[in-house]
C-alpha cells in the first residue's frame, strides 16, 4: 500500500508504461484543514503514468466515500465521490516550463514522488459545500422553540408580519 516511488524506479517503465491500483487508508489528520470531513473510507486509487522527455504525468482516478454533516440536521451523511485528476512532475534538468497553458507542474523533491498529498488535495477540492440527508429532504417540517424550517414555496406565500398592517391599508 504505497503511492510513493523513486524517479529511477519509474523511469524503468518508460517504454512499456506504468500503471498502479491501490487501496489507501488516509488518516483523518490529513484532512484537518477541513473539520467538516468527519470520516473517510479507504480510498481506491488507480492510474497510469505518462512519460515525456521533461516530465511525468500521473492520470489518477480516486473513488471513496466521506462522512459530512447534513446542512439541515447536522447528522452524518455518507457522500460517495469519484474524482479524475492529473498531476505533472518535472524531471531533473527540465527547467523551462510553459506556464501559459495554465497547468500546474510540481518539482520533484529528493528524487521521490509521493501522490498521497495530491490525492488528499483532490478530495478536499471536490468536497461539496453542503449536503442534505435523505431524512431532511423527505421531512422538511423541522421546528423548535421559536423557529421552524420553511420550504421556499411556503416562505413566498407567507406575509412578513411587519408588513401585515400595510395589507389592511389596501383593503379599504
Higher pLDDT: 108 or 164? It is 108
Distance from the Cα of residue 50 to its chain's centroid: 24
Task: Give the confidence band of 160 by pLDDT, cuts at 50, 70, 90.
Answer: confident
Q: What does the pLDDT look like over 71-107, one tens digit per residue?
A: 888 889 999 999 999 999 988 765 655 554 556 788 8
Instruction: Report yes or no: 103 and 85 within 8 Å, Cβ to Cβ.
Output: no
Fill in the DSSP letter of residue 127.
S
Maximum average pLDDT range among 128-137, 139-148, 156-165: 128-137
Q: What is the pLDDT of residues 12-71, one digit of tens each?
A: 988 888 999 999 999 999 998 888 999 999 999 999 999 988 889 999 999 999 999 998
1: pLDDT strictly greater than 50: no
Q: How far apart are CA 39 and CA 67, in angstroms?
A: 5
Domain residue limits, the chain: 4-132
Greater confidence, 122 or 17?
Answer: 122
Percent of the chain with pLDDT over 70: 85
Distances (CA, A) of 73 to 6, 66, 132, 134, 163: 46, 17, 8, 11, 31
pLDDT at 97: 55
Distance (Å, rounded) from C-alpha 26 to C-alpha 161? 51
Task: Tally the residues of the chain.
Answer: 172
Amino acid at each position: 500500500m504505497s503511492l510513493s516511488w523513486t524517479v529511477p524506479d519509474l523511469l524503468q517503465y518508460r517504454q512499456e508504461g506504468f500503471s498502479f491500483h491501490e487501496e489507501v487508508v488516509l488518516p483523518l489528520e490529513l484532512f484537518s484543514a477541513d473539520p467538516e470531513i468527519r470520516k473517510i473510507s479507504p480510498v481506491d486509487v488507480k492510474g497510469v503514468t505518462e512519460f515525456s522527455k521533461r516530465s511525468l504525468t500521473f492520470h489518477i482516478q480516486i473513488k471513496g466515500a466521506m462522512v459530512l454533516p447534513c446542512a439541515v440536521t447536522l447528522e452524518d451523511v455518507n457522500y460517495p465521490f469519484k474524482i479524475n485528476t492529473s498531476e505533472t512532475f518535472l524531471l531533473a534538468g527540465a527547467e523551462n516550463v510553459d506556464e501559459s497553458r495554465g497547468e500546474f507542474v510540481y518539482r520533484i523533491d529528493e528524487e521521490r514522488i509521493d501522490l498521497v498529498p495530491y490525492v488528499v488535495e483532490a478530495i478536499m477540492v471536490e468536497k461539496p459545500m453542503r449536503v442534505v440527508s435523505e431524512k431532511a429532504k423527505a421531512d422538511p417540517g423541522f421546528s423548535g422553540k421559536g423557529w421552524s424550517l420553511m420550504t421556499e414555496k411556503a416562505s413566498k406565500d407567507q406575509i412578513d408580519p411587519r408588513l401585515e398592517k400595510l395589507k389592511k391599508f389596501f383593503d379599504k
